[in-house]
Structure 1
């Protein structure tokens, strides 16, 4: 018998038959989306995306703290491997950038009627002060405007509520992996 999935202890097979213990959930190779997203609540969709994520989200140990229709909060735990300044022992700005980008992306997912590919078009971050050493950082993102193909999102990274270490505005594209148009035939 194959080993159980480390994420769900094997319970995923009913909902996600393509889940394989040897391949993390959300892998681009398996794309375990056997569940009909249209039957899920927006909160369940966001939680599923966070729980099945891989790549930087998983490597940095990010976790979803809150998901509501208004906002999403993601946590970046302080880790020795993410220190940007060994003398001050604060988290690297790149890790905080990834945290903010993730909070924006998950905030966008709460506004979609169905799961879709998205891509960050622009992410502008104002770093207000360094993070305090050896403390977790949180980022809250909220969508403030959406068009048919573009979403506008703001976010804030903080260690204490109301005391931001960085503020951001982001623009995301919806349908990031849409099929490409065929090239025009070359005329001689």
Structure 2
């Protein structure tokens, strides 16, 4: 059965992400958001390079992308939170993203308790068979007051 509130949640989550100043500065683009989670891309930008010798994007930019995508996944979850904040985020970096490639992060909110949501995410460059990083996190869940 279709969820009648899915479009509203998606709209709220999109507005939430698009209003974050650092997401704009880093060039993040929300490319998918639905009950299953979110996907956000970040283009390669020489200003974000952490190692000038190799041209590799700084891990902090990748971390911000993954955190933002996880928050979007929480906002779009059927539990319908109106706001969220990161409580804990663990990121495991598998390899450096290839210089010049866009980074794509996909996140899913797989469990929501009364006040905490649990999320997992994966970041990729052009090679979707080999992750750049994975993340697991816990996020606050603020629901609308009835």
For the aligned pair, the TM-score class normalised by the smaller chain equals: 0.7 to 0.9
- Give the 3-state SS of the residue equivalent to 1:163 in structure 2: coil
Structure 1: 5+ residue stretches without partners: 1-37, 177-188
What is residue 17 of structure 1 aligned with on the other side? none
Taking CA–CA contacts closer than 8 Å with sequence separation of 6 or more, which of the two structures ends up with the larger relative contact order? 2
- Residue matched to 2:133: 166
Whose strand fraction is larger, Structure 1's or Structure 2's? 2
The structure having more radius of gyration, on CA atoms, is: 1
RMSD: 1.9
> Which residue number in structure 2 is paired with residue 126 of structure 1?
92
Q: Secondary structure at the match of 2:85?
A: strand
In the alignment, does 2:14 pair up with 1:47?
A: yes
| Gaps in structure 2 of 5+ consecutive residues | none
User: In the TM superposition, what whole-angstrom CA distance separates every residue of 1:73-121 from its partner, at most 9, and x where no partner exists?
Assistant: 0001110110010010011000000000001000001115555221101
CA deviations over 1:136-168 (Å, ceiling 9, x no partner): 101000011110100000000001223211011
Q: 1:171, 1:57 → 2: CA distance?
A: 20
Following superposition, the deviation at residue 39 of structure 1 comes to: 9.7
Q: In the TM superposition, what are the counterparts of 1:1-188 in structure 2 within 5 Å?
A: 41-51=8-18, 53-111=19-77, 114=80, 116-159=82-125, 160-175=127-142
Count of aligned residue pairs for this structure pair: 138
Question: Is the contact made by 2:39 and 2:104 (CA closer than 8 Å) also made in structure 1?
Answer: yes
